[in-house]
Structures are given as structure tokens and as C-alpha cells.
């Protein structure tokens, strides 16, 4: 699955970059995130509880940042294991561009692979869950960085399937920043 999109965030690029690399801000922003730990300068691990359709899973994931050009861009790659529910792995290129002194455009291009029971869930169910998860993530993220109303956080997501958002969230970073993966 591939996806790309952008989201306007009412904060400076530096503030958005800092929040995207802050485990506490990410954990508070990612729906269902029970634990998020920075294990090195470029790696995170996470535990996320997620429900997609009738499947509920506890995902354990690891994410690695590469091609870092602070505070402009990075590539995030990772994988998450959800036991019998399945697994997800993928990558995303995240770019931050200032569109004003207190507004940043976060754009992303991403790809993910889903395996196990998750792969058998209908795309409409996945799209609905991902849309809600993305809305919740960006609303929470804007509140975490403390600038602008949460209502300004409605994401604009393109692509055939929006699952990459969930993949990124499951992989624990993004999308976060990135839509996130």
C-alpha cells in the first residue's frame, strides 16, 4: 500500500520537528499508545493497542530514523508485530516546510505491507479506522505542541488506502509525523 499527503500544523517548523522527536509528545498523540521509548538517537520502540474491525491487537514495534536533515526531513522505517493479528512494516519520507512564521506543512510519501489477519480485513473498514486514527493523532499532536486550536488539525490524506497512517502509528513515530509512516 502506498500513500502520500500533507497536513498544515499551526506551529514553527522547529517546534514541529522537536515534537516529532519527543517520545512524550508522540505517546500522548498516538491513539492507543501504551508505551513509547527512545532507545537511541535514531530509534524508538512502542507498544500500541489497536482495534481494526473485529481484530484487537497489542502491537510491539520498532522504528528507525535515517536520512536525517534536521529540521527539514527524515525517512522513518519500521515494523510492528501484533501476534496472531498480524504484522505491519513500512517506511515514510517526512518533510517539513515553513509556510509562515507559525505554520508548517508536513508532507509525506509512504509505503506499508500488512500480513496476517489484518490483511484480510476489508479496505473500507481499514480506511474508516485509519481516518479516525489520523484525525485523533493530528488533533492530539496540535494540542501537544501547544499552538493553535485542535480544530485546525484536520488532516488531508491522499491515496487509495489510508492504512499507511495506521502503519505509521503502529510503528510508533509518525507520523507520525507522518502520516505518518
CATH label of the domain that carries residue 90: 3.30.530.20
- Predicted local distance difference test score (pLDDT) of residue 150: 37
- Predicted local distance difference test score (pLDDT) of residue 124: 67
- Predicted local distance difference test score (pLDDT) of residue 87: 85
In a domain, 180, yes or no: no
Arithmetic mean of pLDDT over the chain:
76
Q: Give the mean model confidence (pLDDT) for residues 18-34.
A: 90
Evaluate whether 124 touches 143 at the Cβ level (below 8 Å): no
60: left (phi over 0), alpha (psi -120 to 50) or beta: beta
Among 25-39, 115-129, 149-163, the least confident range: 149-163
In a domain, 20, yes or no: yes
- Predicted local distance difference test score (pLDDT) of residue 121: 75
pLDDT above 90 (res 97) = yes
Nearest-angstrom CA–CA distance, 120 and 115: 8
User: Is the pLDDT higher at 79 or at 57?
Assistant: 79
In a domain, 178, yes or no: no
**What does the angle CA 155 – CA 27 – CA 75 come to, to the nearest 5 degrees?**
65
Local confidence band at 54 (pLDDT 50, 70, 90 cut-offs): confident
| Owning domain of residue 98 | 2-171
pLDDT tens string 121-143: 766 676 666 667 777 887 898 88
Tell me the residue ranges of DSSP E strands in the chain: 2-9, 33-40, 43-52, 55-69, 73-81, 87-100, 103-115, 156-158
The most confident of the ranges 75-79, 130-134, 154-158 is: 75-79
- Predicted local distance difference test score (pLDDT) of residue 177: 32
User: Is the pLDDT higher at 166 or at 138?
Assistant: 138
- Specify the number of domains making up the chain: 1
In a domain, 181, yes or no: no
In a domain, 65, yes or no: yes
Crossing angle of the two packed helices 163-171 and 123-145, in degrees rounded to 10 = 50
To the question of pTM greater than 0.95 for the whole model, the response is no
User: Edge-to-edge, what's the strand order for the sheet holding 33-40?
Assistant: 33-40, 43-52, 55-69, 73-81, 87-100, 103-115, 2-9, 156-158
- Predicted local distance difference test score (pLDDT) of residue 128: 66
In a domain, 176, yes or no: no
In a domain, 179, yes or no: no
In a domain, 92, yes or no: yes
Amino acid at each position: 500500500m502506498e500513500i502520500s499527503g500533507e497536513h498544515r500544523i499551526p506551529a514553527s517548523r522547529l517546534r514541529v520537528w522537536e515534537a516529532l522527536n519527543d517520545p512524550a509528545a508522540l505517546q500522548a498523540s498516538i491513539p492507543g499508545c501504551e508505551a513509547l521509548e527512545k532507545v537511541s538517537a535514531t530509534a524508538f520502540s512502542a507498544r500500541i493497542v489497536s482495534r481494526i474491525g473485529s481484530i484487537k491487537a497489542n502491537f510491539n514495534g520498532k522504528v528507525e530514523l535515517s536520512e536525517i536533515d534536521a529540521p527539514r526531513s527524515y525517512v522513518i522505517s519500521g515494523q510492528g508485530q501484533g501476534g496472531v493479528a498480524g504484522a505491519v512494516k513500512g517506511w515514510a519520507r517526512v518533510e517539513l516546510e515553513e509556510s509562515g512564521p507559525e505554520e508548517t506543512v508536513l508532507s509525506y510519501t509512504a509505503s506499508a505491507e500488512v500480513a496476517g489477519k489484518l490483511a484480510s480485513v476489508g479496505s473500507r473498514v481499514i480506511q474508516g479506522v485509519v481516518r479516525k486514527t489520523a484525525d485523533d493523532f493530528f488533533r492530539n499532536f496540535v494540542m501537544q505542541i501547544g499552538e493553535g486550536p485542535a480544530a485546525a488539525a484536520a488532516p488531508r490524506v491522499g491515496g487509495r488506502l489510508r492504512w499507511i497512517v495506521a502503519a505509521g502509528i503502529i510503528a510508533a513515530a509518525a507520523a507520525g509525523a507522518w502520516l505518518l509512516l
